[in-house]
């Protein structure tokens, strides 16, 4: 008799979802919505040496560290990646990522193009949860003009900071091809559906079936 050809039950493959975008593209808006609708997903809280902005909470938005403490953690190997972005240090804690993936949770990470390149290389060079669950997405604005308009309307940054962010955006956007997925955040609802759909598609990969 032939073996039963029906697929085995699906196991929940935890994803490590790396999202990058130029500042003002709508990454926070989209990621917050994804987290709100996916209780099995956790946000990777980064460490940074930059000062908190109004409304930001230590331990929720970032772990805000003094430069010496950040360096101590670099030396202790606590970061899976770290980079200087807009003149400040940022780093992703290895322990948080590993613990969440081991607990079967999807991890959502908002990091810059340099950090994404480091984690991509680390994922390719290893076995296990990091390699199996790695997925990266670049979120782009429909145009630089729209990006500037959003940064201005957000009303958080001085005009010269906005100029700098738009300049940086040109450099960051040149790297979208390094990512597996591209979402253009023109109409917010459509961009959200695309982001959510790719997460769902990743959970449907045949690698998510037990005993293949
Ligand atoms: P980021 O985290 O990438 O810096 P935000 O999520 O803070 O960006 O979005 C920047 C600004 O643009 C916010 O004021 C947000 O409400 C607005 N925004 C986000 N997506 C859209 C969109 N599709 N259309 C218009 N405005 C948007
Ligand atoms: P902001 O200071 O505006 O929150 O973030 C500035 C930039 O730093 C964004 O591009 C964001 O994606 C990036 N960033 C935030 N956390 C990390 C991190 O842990 N590692 C890296 N490499 N970039 C980060």
In whole angstroms, what is the distance from residue 150 CA to residue 140 CA?
13
In whole angstroms, what is the distance from residue 29 CA to residue 1 CA?
54
Q: What pLDDT, on the 0 to 100 scale, is given for residue 211?
A: 54
Tell me if 138 sits within 8 A of 115, measured CB to CB: no
* Residue 25 Cα to ligand 1 middle (Å): 6
Ligand 2: does its nearest atom lie under 6 Å from the Cβ of 33? Answer: no
Q: Identify the residue whose tokens are 């023109």.
A: 186
Q: Which domains does the chain have, with CATH numbers?
A: 16-44+101-204 (3.40.50.300)
Q: What pLDDT, on the 0 to 100 scale, is given for residue 181?
A: 98
* Residue 57 Cα to ligand 2 middle (Å): 15
* Residue 156 Cα to ligand 1 middle (Å): 12
Lowest-confidence range among 9-13, 142-146, 189-193?
9-13
Ligand 2: does its nearest atom lie under 6 Å from the Cβ of 83? Answer: yes
- Which strands make up the sheet holding 16-20, listed edge to edge? 41-43, 106-110, 16-20, 134-140, 181-184
* Residue 63 Cα to ligand 2 middle (Å): 12
Pocket of ligand 1 (CB under 6 A): 21, 23-29, 150, 153-154, 185, 187-188, 191
- CA-to-CA separations, 106 to 49, 97, 185, 200, in angstroms, rounded: 26, 9, 22, 11
Tell me if 138 sits within 8 A of 23, measured CB to CB: no
Q: Which residues contact 97 (CB under 8 A, 6 or more apart)?
A: 16, 44, 80, 107, 109, 130
Q: What pLDDT, on the 0 to 100 scale, is given for residue 126?
A: 81
Tokens of 149: 């308009």
* pLDDT digit string, tens, across residues 40-78: 999 999 999 999 988 899 999 999 999 999 999 999 999
pLDDT band at 206 (very low <50, low <70, confident <90, very high): confident
Ligand 2: does its nearest atom lie under 6 Å from the Cβ of 92? Answer: yes
Compute the average pLDDT of residues 152-167: 90
Phi-psi region of 78 (alpha: psi -120 to 50; beta: other; left: phi over 0): alpha
**Run of H or E residues at 199:** helix 188-203
Torsion of CA 87, 92, 93, 96, to 10 degrees: 150
* Residue 89 Cα to ligand 2 middle (Å): 9
Q: What pLDDT, on the 0 to 100 scale, is given for residue 209?
A: 66
In whole angstroms, what is the distance from residue 193 CA to residue 183 CA?
10
The percent of residues in the chain predicted with pLDDT above 70, rounded, is 97
Q: What pLDDT, on the 0 to 100 scale, is given for residue 210?
A: 61
Angle value at C-alpha 96, between 90 and 97, nearest 5 degrees: 85
* pLDDT digit string, tens, across residues 26-42: 999 999 999 999 999 99
């Amino acid at each position: 008799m032939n073996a039963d050809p029906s697929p085995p039950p699906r196991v929940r493959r935890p994803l490590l979802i790396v999202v990058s975008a130029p500042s003002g593209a709508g990454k926070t808006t989209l990621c917050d919505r994804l987290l709100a609708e996916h209780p099995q997903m956790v946000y990777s809280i980064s460490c940074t040496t930059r000062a908190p902005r109004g409304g930001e909470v230590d331990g929720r938005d970032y772990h805000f560290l003094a430069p010496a403490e950040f360096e101590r953690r670099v030396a202790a190997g606590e970061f899976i990646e770290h980079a200087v972005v807009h003149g400040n240090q940022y780093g992703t804690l290895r322990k948080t990522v590993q613990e969440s993936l081991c607990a079967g949770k999807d991890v959502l990470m908002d990091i810059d193009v340099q950090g994404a390149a480091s984690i991509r290389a680390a994922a390719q060079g290893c076995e296990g949860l990091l390699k199996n669950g790695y997925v990266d997405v670049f979120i782009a604005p429909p145009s630089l003009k729209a990006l500037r308009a959003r940064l201005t309307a957000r009303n958080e940054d001085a005009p010269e900071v906005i100029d700098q962010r738009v300049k940086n955006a040109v450099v960051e956007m040149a790297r979208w091809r390094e990512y597996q997925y591209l979402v253009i955040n023109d109409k917010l609802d459509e961009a959200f559906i695309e982001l959510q759909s790719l997460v769902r598609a990743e959970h449907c990969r045949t690698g998510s079936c037990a005993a293949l």
